[in-house]
Structure 1
Amino acid sequence: MSTKECGHHDDEHRRKLLRLIIAAIASLLFLILLTIFIIYLILKPTKPHFMIQDATIYNFNISSPTSSPFPTPNTLSLTMQVTLSTHNPNNKIGIYYQKLHVYASYRSQQISFPTALPDTYQGHKDFTVWSPFIYGVAVPVSPFTLSALQQDQNNGMVLVSVKVNGRVKWKVGSWISGRYHIFVNCPAYVRFVGDRNNGIGVVSPAVKFQVLQSCSVDV
């Protein structure tokens, strides 16, 4: 047999081996994807449901700039306590909540510091309730925010969005997934109490509002 014929057979053998390797890898990937799809159909994972139950307002006040040579910006101070509940609707999936922070927002502007929520594991069909305090001390706000607050004050009600930002993990049996980002937005309508002409956004101390509003959840 000539050297040329031996080289031809070797090339053919390598091509067959390469085709077998590619077919094996493709079959393995197909089995993995098929397994994931079957597990998904069996478990039917559903993102958690959040609800804001009530909000207690201790302070909600905005200060206007002074008439000094160096005027200060509008600032808003806020102290409130909210009750948030979350429900795991899954029958076979547990949820780990990690590095969650809750804060208040008004007209897409954050008006409080983030408050940390404890890391929590939520079993199948379980409920969890948090009652964090949310603080904002002399938070600078834009002129647009001041104008919007004045309009809301005249209407007697303000919409404050309570938002939760953090990470979740899914648990199936002994398997735990990687981290997923979770973002929750809870609208809370708060009524102004007292003399509306006495400052901007004045609320009497410790006024509790029953909200019972579902929240939007993105995972």
Structure 2
Amino acid sequence: MADHQRLRIHPMEGEAPPPPTTPLVPPGSSRSEKGVPLHHPPPLPRAMPAAYPTPHKRSSSCCCKCICWTIILVVLLLIIFAASVGILYLVFQPKLPDYSVDTLRISDLRLNFDMSLYAKFDVKITATNPNKKIGIYYEKGGKLSVWYTNTRLCEGSLPQFYQGHENKTVLNVSLSGQVQSGSTLMNALQQQQQTGRIPLDLKVHAPIAIKLGRLKLMKVRVLGECLLVVDSLSSNNLISIKASNCKFRLKL
């Protein structure tokens, strides 16, 4: 009896073991109903380490380098230009040309039948070049004009010539012009003439080129204005200039 119970409890070596029982899989488990494990999704790729720069950062770095080199180059060019200008200024010591109004004569001042005002002036001016090492070329297109209360009475052309170092040149310029609706202007001039002080504005516009040694530089413009006070506007008479105040400047 004991041997029979022993055989049932402990099977013999030739007897196959009982099949394994399938455990119950609770809902939501990672195994399928047949007990086969489900396939997990592949792992996500690792992020690129921060030690390696991205292509965007590389391109930004190249742009910054280009901008920095461009700024440095521009600054160097400005420094070289400023140094060159400073050296030229110390060597040549440039000065503005000067002008003075010597005489003013009215050849004609009258009202036409269409009530326009015709004026013809003859002006004698002296142009002075005070520079010791700089010559001045007076180019084509120079103008000289006479104004009264913001109205241009007449205008004339300046001659073309070269003015040497420390030279004075006397210029005789003939001016003429016509103003529409001149009756009002003529009445104002006649009333002003009774006071013996008539304000006139003489304007100079002269394109010039500077000569340094044998080098002829680019053109600049001399802009000048002379505020005159004359005693009369009588035709064919030499007018007395009671006051004169002239200012001049260069413009590129």
Residue 47 in structure 1 maps to residue 47 in structure 2: no
Per-residue CA shift, 1:156-182, capped at 9, x if unaligned? 342222222131111111222211122
Between structure 1 and structure 2, the one with the greater Rg is 2
Partner of 2:220: 180
Counterpart of 2:84 in structure 1: which amino acid?
Answer: T
- Return the offset for 1:190: 3.1
Counterpart of 1:127 in structure 2: which amino acid?
Answer: K
Counterpart of 2:238 in structure 1: which amino acid?
Answer: K
Selected match of 1:31 from 69, 80, 83: 80
Counterpart of 1:130 in structure 2: which amino acid?
Answer: L
Counterpart of 1:42 in structure 2: which amino acid?
Answer: V
The separation in 1 between residues aligned to 2:110 and 2:238, in whole angstroms, is 16
Cα distance, 1:140–1:30 mapped onto 2, change above 3 Å: same
Alignment of 1:47-126 (within 5 A): 47-62=96-111, 73=115, 75-98=116-139, 99-112=141-154, 114-126=155-167
Per-residue CA shift, 1:47-90, capped at 9, x if unaligned? 10100000122222346xx8xxxxx55x3221221101110111
Q: Does the aligned pair in 2 maintain the 1:94–1:124 contact within 8 Å?
A: yes
Q: Does the aligned pair in 2 maintain the 1:97–1:167 contact within 8 Å?
A: yes
- Return the offset for 1:191: 2.7
- Return the offset for 1:110: 0.7
The separation in 1 between residues aligned to 2:168 and 2:205, in whole angstroms, is 19
Q: Does the aligned pair in 2 maintain the 1:55–1:188 contact within 8 Å?
A: no
Q: Does the aligned pair in 2 maintain the 1:95–1:123 contact within 8 Å?
A: yes
The separation in 2 between residues aligned to 1:125 and 1:141, in whole angstroms, is 45
Cα distance, 1:32–1:156 mapped onto 2, change above 3 Å: closer
Cα distance, 1:147–1:204 mapped onto 2, change above 3 Å: closer
The separation in 1 between residues aligned to 2:190 and 2:207, in whole angstroms, is 36
Per-residue CA shift, 1:131-190, capped at 9, x if unaligned? 1111124x2256764553243022134222222213111111122221112222233433
Q: Does the aligned pair in 1 maintain the 2:229–2:244 contact within 8 Å?
A: no
Cα distance, 1:22–1:117 mapped onto 2, change above 3 Å: closer
Higher-RCO chain (CA-CA 8 Å, sequence separation at least 6)? 1
Alignment of 1:92-171 (within 5 A): 92-98=133-139, 99-112=141-154, 114-137=155-178, 139-141=179-181, 145-146=185-186, 148-171=188-211
Cα distance, 1:25–1:109 mapped onto 2, change above 3 Å: closer
CA RMSD in angstroms, aligned pairs only: 3.2
Please, which runs of 5 or more residues in structure 2 have no aligned partner? 1-51, 53-58
TM-score (norm 2): 0.63
TM-score (norm 1): 0.71
Higher strand share: 1
Residue 218 in structure 1 maps to residue 240 in structure 2: no
Aligned length: 192
The separation in 2 between residues aligned to 1:184 and 1:20, in whole angstroms, is 44
Q: Does the aligned pair in 1 maintain the 2:117–2:182 contact within 8 Å?
A: no
Counterpart of 1:165 in structure 2: which amino acid?
Answer: H
Partner of 2:239: 209
The separation in 1 between residues aligned to 2:227 and 2:135, in whole angstroms, is 27
The separation in 2 between residues aligned to 1:187 and 1:159, in whole angstroms, is 7
Question: Percent identity over the alignment?
Answer: 24
